[in-house]
C-alpha cells in the first residue's frame, strides 16, 4: 500500500512540476510583453503631456528644448531623452541619453518597421544592460515633423521577473503538495467506502451500484465451483465425461454437425478405396467430439469414391472399423462448388476475415451459389433430425446463412454456430456487399461462438452498425423480435490424449527415422512447420526467418534443416497457385544460397500427409514454428504440444494467433519481423533441456485441461441451459395466456 502511495505522489508531483514549468514559461513571456507595452504607453503619455512645450521650442530655442526633455526624464526609470528632426539631425538630448542610438539610424528602422505609424518601440542590449527605446512623432513649430526618443532602463524588469518566478515556484509547490494530499485523502476515503460496500455486498446486503457486479461474481464463482466439483468427480474432461454431460443435460440426444469438410474422404486407389483424413483444424477438433457423442455429420462429399461408399440416403457410418456416428454427404455440382466454395467463401470471406493483405473478391453470381448451397445443406440438416427441438452445431464461414434457414424450418431448434476464423471489425466487414445478409443469417443461431472475446466484441459491433436490433452488452446478447442470440468465446482445442499418438514412434525413434528419410546427418537439428498451403499461414515469412537465422548465426549452417509440410489447398484459386510458385521459388533460392554438399536448409514436402506422419514430424523436431499472419486459433501449436510427451522441443508462435493467448510459455514472435524471428529460432536451438521441459510441461498441462471435450462440453451445456430456459419461458407464456383468457 505504501509503495502505491509513494508512486502515486511521485507521479502527481512530477506532473504538477512539469505543468508549473510550462506555466512559468508562458507567464514570463506574457508578463514581459505586458511590461514593454506599459513602457510604450508611458512614453507616449510623457511626450503628449509635453507636446506644447516641445512644439514651441522645437526649432527656436535649444536650451528650452533641452530643459523640456530633462523634465520628461525625471522618472528614475527613464535613462535619457533626445529630440531629432525628421531629416535625422539631433536637436537636443539629456546627459544620460545613450550615444548608441543615432537619430538617422533609428528613423530608418522606424520607417522600415512602422512606416505609417506615429510611434514605434524596441528593446536593445547595451553595455550597461537591457533598455527599451520608444520613438514618438512630434509636430514642430513650423509644421516640420520630428521625433522624441525615450530610453527606459529594463533592469527593473529582470527583478520583477525573478520575483514572479520565485512566487510561481512557491505557489506551485504549495499547490502541488496540497493537491497531492487532498487527492490521496479523497482516494483513501473513496477506497474505504467502496471496500465497505463490497464487504457488505458479499455478506448479502449489496448497494444498488454493486448489485450487477455481485451478481456476476457470484455466477462466476458458482460456475467455477461447479466445474471443479464435476472435474474432481469425473477426473477432467474426456470422451466419457462428454457423453455423460450429453446424457445429463440433453437426455442423450444426438447432435447434428454441419460443416463443409467431411471427416473422412473416400478416394479411388489402384487396389480399391483409400480413406483419407483432410488437413483441417476444424476436422481435428470436431471429429473426436462426434466419436464421443454420436450423431450425424453433414458435409460435402468431395472424394472420388464418396458416392460409391454411401447408402441410398447418402449416409455412411464412420470412422471405418469403429462406426460410431453417421456421415451424411451432400453433393455439389462443379458450378456450385466453384461459386460457393472457391468463389464467395474463399475469394471473398476468407481474405475478408483475415488480415493478411489479400484483397477480397465479391461477385454476385458467387453469392447466389452461396445462398443456394446454404439452403441445400440446411435442408439436409432438417432431414437428419429426429425431434422438433434438436441440437445443431453449424461450423464456420461457409454457412453464415444456414442458421436462419434452419430456424425457419425448425423454430424450436437450439443452433450453435461456431465461427472458426477471426471475425473482422465493423469497418472491415462493411466491405462485403451482403454484410446484412451474413449477420442476419448468423443471428438465426441460439449461440454464436468465436475463439476470443475480441472476435465477440467485433461481431457485436458489426451487428450494432448494420442490423436493426437491441444489443444487451451486459449479457453479450443480441435481441431481435424478443429472441436472443448469445455471443460467447469458446477457445477451441484438440483431443487429449491424441489417439493417433499410439501409432507414432517415440521422439528418439521419430527423429532417427526423419533424419534417414530426409538424408540428414545423425546430429542434424530439425525445425518443422505443418500447414495447408495458405497465404494466411505466413510460410514465406517463416522461410525468410530461417534464411536470416543462417545469415546471422553461421554456426547453424550445415546443421539446421527446416522441414515444411505443406498440404496443397484451394489450387483452383489464382492467389493459391501464385503462393505455391512463390514458396517453391523461395525455398529453392534459400537452398541455393546455403547448400553445401548434400546439405539443404529447407525441405519442402508439398503433399497431403496423414496424421500419423504429421505427429511423427512433431516428435522428431527440435522446434516447431507457427508463423500465421492472422489466425482464429491455430491447432498446429496445440498438436505439437500434445505430441511431445518427452517434454522437449520449443514452440515458436505468432502473436497474431488465438493460440498465443493460451500457450504463453511459447516463444511469441511477430512473423513480419524476420530479425526477431531469427533470434527466436536461435534461442530455441540453444535452449537448455531443463527450460524446454519447464515450458513444455506448463503448456501440456493447459492443453490437457482445456481440451476439445471441454470446448464442446461448454457449448453443449450452454445450449442445454438455453433450451431449458426457452422451454420454461414457453410454459409460462402458455399459462399466462390461459389466465388472460379465463379472466376475460
| Domain range for 468 | 241-489
Residues of the chain with pLDDT under 70: 1-6, 8-9, 12-13, 16, 24, 27, 76, 139-144, 157-158, 161, 165, 168, 176, 180, 194, 198-235, 252, 279, 730-744
The dihedral through the CA atoms of 28, 33, 34, 39 has a sign that is positive
SS3 724: helix
Indicate the pairing of strand 525-532 with strand 623-626. Answer: parallel
460 in Cβ contact with 476 (< 8 Å): yes
Q: Are residues 435 and 336 in the same domain?
A: yes
Q: Are residues 422 and 536 in the same domain?
A: no
Pick from 498, 456, 436: which is nearest to 708 by CA? 498
| Cα–Cα dist 677/403, whole Å | 41
Burial of 444 (C-beta count, 10 Å sphere; 0-12/13-18/19+): buried
> Mind giving me the DSSP string for 464-511?
HHHS--EEETTTTEEEETTEEEEEEE------SS-GGGGGS--HHHHH
Q: Are residues 536 and 665 in the same domain?
A: yes
103 in Cβ contact with 148 (< 8 Å): no
Q: How many CB atoms lie within 10 A of CB 86?
A: 14
Phi, psi of 692 (to 5 degrees): -60, -40
Pick from 282, 178, 226: which is nearest to 494 by CA? 282
Q: Are residues 366 and 420 in the same domain?
A: yes
Residue 204 pLDDT:
57
Q: Are residues 444 and 535 in the same domain?
A: no
With respect to residue 205, please indicate whether it lies within any of the assigned structural domains: no
Pick from 360, 364, 376: which is nearest to 298 by CA? 376
- H/E element holding 550? helix 539-552
| Cα–Cα dist 744/352, whole Å | 56
141 in Cβ contact with 79 (< 8 Å): no
83 dihedral zone (left: phi>0; alpha: psi -120 to 50; beta): beta
> Mind giving me the DSSP string for 441-472?
HHTTSSEEEESSHHHHHHHHHHHHHHS--EEE
Joined grid coordinates for residue 620 = 522428431
Q: Are residues 484 and 516 in the same domain?
A: no
Q: Are residues 308 and 411 in the same domain?
A: yes
330 in Cβ contact with 298 (< 8 Å): yes
Q: Are residues 467 and 527 in the same domain?
A: no
With respect to residue 537, please indicate whether it lies within any of the assigned structural domains: yes
| Cα–Cα dist 531/141, whole Å | 101
Q: Are residues 305 and 384 in the same domain?
A: yes
Looking at 432, 457, 489, the residue that finishes a domain is: 489
Residue 63 pLDDT:
82
**Which spans in 295-388 are helix H?**
334-336, 350-353, 364-384
| Cα–Cα dist 481/484, whole Å | 8
List Cβ neighbours of 20 (8 Å cut-off, separation of 6 or more).
168, 169, 172, 173, 176
**Which spans in 203-310 are helix H?**
211-234, 239-250, 281-293
| Cα–Cα dist 633/143, whole Å | 93
With respect to residue 522, please indicate whether it lies within any of the assigned structural domains: yes
Residue 216 pLDDT:
64
Distances from the Cα of 489 to the Cα of 313, 385, 448, 453, 456, angstroms: 36, 27, 9, 5, 7
With respect to residue 226, please indicate whether it lies within any of the assigned structural domains: no
450 in Cβ contact with 423 (< 8 Å): yes
Query: How many domains are contained in the chain?
Result: 2
| Cα–Cα dist 701/645, whole Å | 11
Q: Which residues, listed in sequence order, are joined to residue 603 by a DSSP beta bridge?
A: 563
Which residue's C-alpha cell is 455478506?
203
543 in Cβ contact with 527 (< 8 Å): no
Q: CATH code at 543?
A: 3.40.50.2000
366 in Cβ contact with 340 (< 8 Å): yes
Joined grid coordinates for residue 88 = 535625422
621 in Cβ contact with 528 (< 8 Å): yes
78 in Cβ contact with 91 (< 8 Å): no
With respect to residue 122, please indicate whether it lies within any of the assigned structural domains: no
SS3 for 654-707 is ECCECHHHHCCCCEEECCCCHHHHHHHHHHHHHCCHHHHHHHHHHHHHHHHHCC
List Cβ neighbours of 63 (8 Å cut-off, separation of 6 or more).
none
Distances from the Cα of 337 to the Cα of 26, 51, 307, 331, 399, angstroms: 71, 101, 16, 9, 13
164 in Cβ contact with 27 (< 8 Å): yes
What does the radius of gyration of the chain's CA atoms come to, in whole angstroms?
Answer: 41
Q: Are residues 476 and 527 in the same domain?
A: no
Q: Are residues 514 and 485 in the same domain?
A: no
Q: Are residues 321 and 442 in the same domain?
A: yes
List Cβ neighbours of 693 (8 Å cut-off, separation of 6 or more).
647, 648
251 dihedral zone (left: phi>0; alpha: psi -120 to 50; beta): left
With respect to residue 126, please indicate whether it lies within any of the assigned structural domains: no
Amino acid at each position: 500500500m505504501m509503495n502505491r502511495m509513494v508512486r502515486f505522489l511521485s507521479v502527481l508531483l512530477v506532473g504538477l512540476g512539469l505543468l508549473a514549468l510550462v506555466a512559468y514559461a508562458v507567464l514570463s513571456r506574457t508578463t514581459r510583453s505586458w511590461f514593454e507595452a506599459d513602457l510604450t504607453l508611458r512614453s507616449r503619455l510623457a511626450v503628449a503631456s509635453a507636446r506644447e512645450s516641445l512644439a514651441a521650442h522645437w526649432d527656436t530655442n535649444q536650451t528650452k528644448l533641452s530643459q523640456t526633455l530633462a523634465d520628461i526624464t525625471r522618472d528614475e526609470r527613464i535613462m535619457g531623452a533626445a529630440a531629432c528632426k525628421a531629416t535625422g539631425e539631433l536637436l537636443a538630448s539629456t546627459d544620460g541619453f545613450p550615444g548608441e542610438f543615432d537619430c538617422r539610424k533609428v528613423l530608418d528602422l522606424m520607417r522600415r518597421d512602422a512606416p505609417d505609424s506615429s510611434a514605434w518601440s524596441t528593446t536593445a542590449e547595451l553595455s550597461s544592460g537591457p533598455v527599451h527605446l520608444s520613438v514618438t512623432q512630434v509636430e514642430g513649430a513650423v509644421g516640420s515633423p520630428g521625433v522624441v526618443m525615450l530610453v527606459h532602463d529594463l533592469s527593473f524588469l529582470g527583478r520583477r521577473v525573478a520575483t514572479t518566478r520565485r512566487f510561481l515556484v512557491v505557489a506551485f509547490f504549495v499547490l502541488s503538495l496540497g493537491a497531492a494530499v487532498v487527492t490521496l485523502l479523497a482516494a483513501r476515503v473513496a477506497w474505504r467506502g467502496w471496500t465497505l460496500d463490497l464487504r457488505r455486498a458479499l455478506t448479502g446486503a449489496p448497494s444498488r451500484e454493486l448489485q450487477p457486479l455481485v451478481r456476476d461474481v457470484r455466477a462466476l464463482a458458482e460456475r467455477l465451483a461447479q466445474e471443479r466439483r464435476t472435474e474432481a468427480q469425473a477426473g477432467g474432461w474426456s470422451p466419457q465425461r462428454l457423453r455423460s454431460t450429453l446424457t445429463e443435460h440433453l437426455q442423450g440426444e444426438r447432435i447434428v454437425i454441419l460443416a463443409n469438410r467431411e471427416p473422412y474422404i473416400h478416394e479411388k486407389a489402384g487396389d480399391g478405396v483409400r480413406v483419407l483424413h483432410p488437413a483441417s483444424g476444424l476436422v481435428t477438433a470436431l471429429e473426436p467430439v462426434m466419436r464421443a457423442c454420436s450423431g450425424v455429420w453433414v458435409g460435402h462429399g468431395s472424394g472420388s469414391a464418396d458416392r460409391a461408399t454411401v447408402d441410398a440416403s447418402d449416409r455412411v457410418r464412420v470412422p471405418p472399423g469403429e462406426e460410431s456416428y453417421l456421415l451424411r454427404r451432400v453433393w455439389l455440382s462443379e458450378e456450385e462448388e466453384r461459386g460457393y466454395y472457391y468463389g464467395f467463401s474463399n475469394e471473398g470471406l476468407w481474405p475478408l476475415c483475415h488480415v493478411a493483405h489479400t484483397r477480397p473478391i465479391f461477385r454476385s453470381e458467387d453469392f447466389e451459389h452461396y445462398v443456394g448451397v446454404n439452403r441445400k445443406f440446411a435442408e439436409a440438416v432438417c432431414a437428419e433430425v429426429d425431434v422438433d427441438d434438436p441440437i445443431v452445431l453449424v461450423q464456420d464461414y461457409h454457412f453464415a446463412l444456414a442458421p436462419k434457414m434452419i430456424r425457419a424450418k425448425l423454430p424450436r431448434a437450439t443452433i450453435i454456430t461456431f465461427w472458426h476464423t477471426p471475425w473482422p471489425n465493423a469497418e472491415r466487414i462493411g466491405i462485403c456487399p451482403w454484410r446484412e445478409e451474413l449477420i442476419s443469417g448468423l443471428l438465426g443461431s441460439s449461440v454464436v461462438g468465436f475463439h476470443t472475446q475480441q472476435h465477440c466484441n467485433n461481431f457485436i459491433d458489426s451487428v450494432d452498425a448494420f442490423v436493426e436490433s437491441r444489443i444487451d452488452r451486459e449479457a453479450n446478447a443480441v435481441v431481435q423480435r424478443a429472441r436472443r442470440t448469445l455471443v460467447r468465446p469458446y477457445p477451441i482445442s484438440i483431443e487429449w490424449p491424441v489417439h493417433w499418438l499410439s501409432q507414432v514412434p517415440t521422439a528418439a525413434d521419430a527423429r532417427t527415422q526423419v533424419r534417414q528419410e530426409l538424408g540428414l546427418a545423425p546430429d542434424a537439428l530439425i525445425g518443422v512447420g505443418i500447414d495447408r498451403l495458405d497465404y494466411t499461414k505466413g510460410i514465406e515469412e517463416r522461410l525468410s526467418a530461417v534464411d536470416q537465422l543462417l545469415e546471422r548465426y553461421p554456426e547453424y549452417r550445415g546443421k539446421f534443416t527446416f522441414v515444411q509440410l505443406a498440404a496443397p489447398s484451394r489450387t483452383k484459386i489464382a492467389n493459391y497457385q501464385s503462393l505455391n510458385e512463390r514458396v517453391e521459388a523461395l525455398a529453392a533460392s534459400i537452398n541455393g544460397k546455403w547448400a553445401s554438399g548434400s546439405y539443404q536448409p529447407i525441405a519442402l514436402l508439398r503433399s497431403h500427409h496423414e496424421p500419423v506422419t504429421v505427429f511423427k514430424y512433431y516428435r522428431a523436431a527440435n522446434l516447431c514454428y507457427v508463423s500465421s499472419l492472422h489466425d482464429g486459433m491455430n491447432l498446429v501449436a496445440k498438436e505439437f504440444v500434445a505430441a511431445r510427451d518427452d517434454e522437449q522441443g520449443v514452440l515458436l508462435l505468432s502473436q497474431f494467433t488465438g493460440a498465443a493467448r493460451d500457450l504463453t510459455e511459447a516463444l511469441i514472435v511477430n512473423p513480419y519481423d524476420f530479425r526477431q524471428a531469427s533470434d527466436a529460432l536461435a534461442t530455441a536451438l540453444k535452449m537448455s533441456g531443463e527450460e524446454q521441459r519447464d515450458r513444455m510441461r506448463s503448456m501440456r498441462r493447459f492443453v490437457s485441461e482445456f481440451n476439445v471435450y471441454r470446448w464442446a462440453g461448454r457449448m453443449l451445456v450452454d445450449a442445454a441451459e438455453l433450451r431449458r430456459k426457452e422451454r420454461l419461458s414457453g410454459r409460462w407464456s402458455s399459462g399466462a395466456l390461459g389466465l388472460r383468457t379465463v379472466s376475460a
